[in-house]
Amino acid sequence: MAKVNIYLGREKKNGELGDWVTLDVSKPRVGVIVGKRGSGKTYSASVLIEECLDRNPRAAYVIIDIMGVYWSLKYPNKNVKELNTPGFKGLIEPKGYADKTRVLVVAGDVKKYQKGTYDGTLTITPNMVSFDVWLSVFNLAPDEPQAMLLKSLLDKFEDKTYSIQELIYALTEELETGRYSKQTIVSLRSKFEYAKSWGIFSKTGMTLRDLAIPGVATIIDVSESSKPVSALLVGLLAEKIYDARKELARIKSWAKVSGRSVSIEDKNIPQTWLIIEEAHNFLPSRERTKASTPLITYVKEGRHPGCGLLLVSQEPAALDTKVLKQIDFLLVHNLSHKQDVEAVKFIAPSPLPRDLDSILIKLGKGEALLSVTGSEVAKKVKIRPKHSIHIARADIAEDKDVVELGEQPFSIWNEYERLKREVVELKAKLIEYQKRAGSKSSLIEKYMNEINKLKHELEKKDQVISELNQRLAEKDSIIRDLESQIKALQPKKYAVSRLKQRLLNSIAGALRDTIINELNSDAKSVLSILGEHPRISLDDLQKSIPSKIKLLKALEKLNAKRFIRIETINNKDYIILNLDNLIRRLSVEPLSDEDIEYVIERIFGLGII
Ligand SMILES: Nc1ncnc2c1ncn2[C@@H]1O[C@H](COP(=O)(O)OP(=O)(O)OP(=O)(O)O)[C@@H](O)[C@H]1O
Ligand SMILES: [Mg+2]
């Protein structure tokens, strides 16, 4: 792999400045910067970061900033005297790294920071914290009952995203099961209550991908956070970066061996450098801290998968030097304490000058001895001036207003944070809309079912209607047929009625002849009266024929011929015309009352009688 050299400064030999001193960062390295207070450690670390940001943007840089000084990387260095340090005049231009650095502060501590000194807040989800890290956070041994309870609790939540409060609720519920003693539960619960008070946990926390961004230095300013929080963050970052890089390396090598292409989209964590100030707090020589277990793995095994580390400490003797036996480079600033010098000798990756003690004690500010693995004797280096402004711990401690920052640089991170917030809001809205659409769709489904049912019924009705229409059409044609038949029958109807009239006339004629031939004049007169009054009383008839004998004879004759009948009602005799039966008998065709009436009218109408 091609070298990626960063330029730390110039070699100082016999009081003269010589060649530029470089460090190859093509692969992530593990390095340590030590030196006593104010000797230039943070300055040198900042130069290394500037160089990396300029020359190795492939990697991500995550800084745990205990003192809260790295934000100054954003501002260009205005200290002309410093920029014109002999040996560097005209070579280092003032330049801020506002677009390449991003300052995050722990969400719970945000009020303690001045606005403008940070770009965003940092929270993590409790599920980012592994069982092992929780153990070290809570100082628990794995075989303690509390640890076992913790394990069963975390198993219960598995991969789910949860809040600390939910863990606390779950613990409270555990009180009822009786599986663990009340004391164990209450103790673990109060530990989580304490962790909650740090204000670093949230249900929607940042992921490693939010923190490890290629070409960007993510500065986690923990200067206002409590010690356990910084230790938790260091441990967590070491563990997560290592795990992610290891998984990526495994996937890549599998893909290489198997010849298959593998999607690494969400696992693509860049090579990452973890930069830790006051490192003796996290990797101390005598005890284990919340951070030490993951840090030790990170140091010992992280290089191959691409985990870089830069530890900065003023007390090398207080560092776990056994772990640091295999570092790649060591930058030693002024040191005088014997134990610290001994620690340096122990961890230096290359031979050191024989007169080390006196050299170290004489190093000026910004001067250091660089020992790199695989090289010959360590070199004395005059570290180059910074492009960006430097804020020293002393400046903060004395609250000195020595540096003029100038205008606040534009930061893309504000925009980034704003957009991220928008994305979160939009995602929430999307979920809400999806939910609403879901309920709508079930409603729509219901309506669709209803509509389909109605459609089906409609179809059935349509079918019935068309059947009825067909039958109607059939009836219509029958009616039309009948009408035409009726029309055809019309002339026959006239013929029939004419025939009938003739028949009736002949009946009337025949009857009239019989009446004329067989009756005397008195009988004819009686009949003639009956023609006008088909029912008449004997008394009234008497008025027409005064001779009683004649009248009785006539009636006798008429009765014998059944032309009349006599009825007695209320002792009064009535004579009733009785031609109906006679006429019926004379006809070969059945006659209606109307026909009979016609015949009678005809007999009397002719006035023959
Ligand atoms: N290479 C350098 N060129 C110019 N000035 C430097 C250089 N290195 C350090 N200084 C100056 O020395 C002072 C202390 O430097 P720095 O803050 O890096 O010290 P430190 O070792 O980190 O101290 P502490 O242990 O207190 O954190 C600062 O004022 C800084 O400007
Ligand atoms: Mg410092």
Question: Which tens digits make up the pLDDT trace of 495-511?
Answer: 888 888 888 888 888 88
State which H helix or E strand residue 542 sits in. helix 538-544
Q: Answer whether residue 410 shows pLDDT above 80.
A: no
The 272-276 sheet, strands edge to edge: 16-24, 5-13, 379-383, 367-372, 329-332, 30-34, 307-313, 272-276, 60-65, 217-221, 101-106, 120-122
pLDDT at 403: 60
Per-residue pLDDT, averaged over 115-120, amounts to 83
Minimal-distance CA residue to ligand 1 atom 16: 40
Single-letter code of the amino acid located at 31: G
Would you place residue 380 in the very low, low, confident or very high pLDDT band (cuts 50, 70, 90)? very high
The count of residues in the chain is 609
| 201 Cβ closer than 6 Å to some ligand 1 atom | no
- Same domain for 385 and 463, yes or no, is no
Q: What ligand is nearest to the CA atom of residue 365?
A: 1
- Same domain for 189 and 250, yes or no, is no
pLDDT at 115: 79
| 312 Cβ closer than 6 Å to some ligand 1 atom | no
Q: Answer whether residue 293 shows pLDDT above 90.
A: no
- Same domain for 557 and 496, yes or no, is yes
| Angle at 88 (CA atoms; ends 85, 94), nearest 5 degrees | 85
Q: What ligand is nearest to the CA atom of residue 391?
A: 1
Nearest in space to 171 (alpha carbons), one of 155, 182, 185 = 185
pLDDT tens column, 74-117: 999 999 999 999 999 999 999 999 989 999 999 999 999 987 78
Q: How many CB atoms lie within 10 A of CB 259?
A: 6
Give, as one character, the DSSP assignment of residue 198: T
Mutate to test the pocket of ligand 1, among 85, 390, 395 (most ligand atoms within 8 A of CB): 390
- Given the CA of residue 394, which atom of ligand 1 is nearest to it? 26
pLDDT at 401: 55
- Given the CA of residue 9, which atom of ligand 1 is nearest to it? 1
CATH of the domain at 343: 3.40.50.300
- Same domain for 263 and 355, yes or no, is yes
SS (H, E, C) 288-302: CCCCHHHHHHHHHHC
Give, as one character, the DSSP assignment of residue 355: T
Which sign does the torsion angle of CA 274, 277, 283, 289 carry? Answer: negative
Q: Which of 161-165, 286-290, 446-450 has the lowest mean pLDDT?
A: 286-290
42/219 Cα distance (integer angstroms): 13
Asked whether residue 425 is assigned to any structural domain, the reply reads: no
Nearest in space to 61 (alpha carbons), one of 225, 252, 214, 237 = 214
How is residue 398 written in tokens?
A: 């004395």
Taking the centre of ligand 1 as the mean of its atom positions, its distance from the CA of residue 339, in whole angstroms, is 22
pLDDT tens column, 336-376: 999 999 999 999 999 999 999 999 999 999 999 999 998 88
**CA dist 316 → 35, 338, 527 (Å):** 8, 11, 164
- Given the CA of residue 391, which atom of ligand 1 is nearest to it? 17
Asked whether residue 82 is assigned to any structural domain, the reply reads: no
- Same domain for 581 and 477, yes or no, is yes
Would you place residue 404 in the very low, low, confident or very high pLDDT band (cuts 50, 70, 90)? low
Asked whether residue 415 is assigned to any structural domain, the reply reads: no
Q: Please list all protein residues whose beta carbon sits less than 5 angstroms from ligand 2, which is an ion.
A: 42, 393
- Same domain for 185 and 250, yes or no, is no
| 390 Cβ closer than 6 Å to some ligand 1 atom | yes
Taking the centre of ligand 1 as the mean of its atom positions, its distance from the CA of residue 313, in whole angstroms, is 13
Give, as one character, the DSSP assignment of residue 507: H
- Given the CA of residue 43, which atom of ligand 1 is nearest to it? 18
**Which own/partner contact pairs does 110-116 have at CB distance under 8 Å and 24+ positions apart?**
112/224, 113/221, 113/224, 116/408
Q: Answer whether residue 308 shows pLDDT above 70.
A: yes
Asked whether residue 294 is assigned to any structural domain, the reply reads: yes
Mean pLDDT: which of 64-73, 155-164, 261-270 is highest? 64-73
Q: What ligand is nearest to the CA atom of residue 389?
A: 1
pLDDT tens column, 563-586: 899 999 888 999 999 888 888 888
The domain boundary residue, chosen from 150, 181, 205: 205
Tell me which residue range forms the domain holding 555: 437-605
DSSP per-residue letters across 88-116: TTTT------TTTEEEEEEGGGGGGS-TT
CATH of the domain at 598: 1.10.10.10
Would you place residue 606 in the very low, low, confident or very high pLDDT band (cuts 50, 70, 90)? low
The domain boundary residue, chosen from 382, 405, 428: 405
- Same domain for 363 and 336, yes or no, is yes
Asked whether residue 519 is assigned to any structural domain, the reply reads: yes
The domain boundary residue, chosen from 163, 187, 205: 205
The mean predicted confidence, pLDDT, of the chain is 89
- Number of independent structural domains in the chain: 3
Mutate to test the pocket of ligand 1, among 10, 21, 42, 384 (most ligand atoms within 8 A of CB): 42
- Same domain for 135 and 284, yes or no, is no
- Same domain for 239 and 198, yes or no, is no
pLDDT at 609: 55
Q: Answer whether residue 383 shows pLDDT above 90.
A: yes
Q: Answer whether residue 312 shows pLDDT above 90.
A: yes
- Same domain for 441 and 577, yes or no, is yes
pLDDT tens column, 452-484: 999 999 899 989 988 989 988 999 888 899 889
Contact of 215 with 55, CB cutoff 8 Å = no
- Same domain for 456 and 473, yes or no, is yes
pLDDT at 265: 67
- Same domain for 60 and 157, yes or no, is no
pLDDT tens column, 28-76: 999 999 999 999 999 999 999 999 999 999 999 999 999 999 999 999 9
| 191 Cβ closer than 6 Å to some ligand 1 atom | no
| 37 Cβ closer than 6 Å to some ligand 1 atom | yes
Orientation of helix 593-605 relative to helix 521-532, angle to 10°:
130
Asked whether residue 104 is assigned to any structural domain, the reply reads: no
Taking the centre of ligand 2 as the mean of its atom positions, its distance from the CA of residue 331, in whole angstroms, is 14
Give, as one character, the DSSP assignment of residue 331: E
Per-residue pLDDT, averaged over 113-127, amounts to 87
Asked whether residue 101 is assigned to any structural domain, the reply reads: no
Q: Answer whether residue 131 shows pLDDT above 80.
A: yes
Considering only residues 545 and 39, tell me which one the structure prediction assigns the higher pLDDT.
Answer: 39
Would you place residue 316 in the very low, low, confident or very high pLDDT band (cuts 50, 70, 90)? very high
Asked whether residue 426 is assigned to any structural domain, the reply reads: no
Give percent of the chain with pLDDT exceeding 70. Answer: 97
Burial class (CB within 10 angstroms; exposed 0-12, middle 13-18, buried 19+) of 52:
buried
Q: Answer whether residue 191 shows pLDDT above 90.
A: yes
SS (H, E, C) 421-451: HHHHHHHHHHHHHHHHHHHHHHHHHHHHHHH
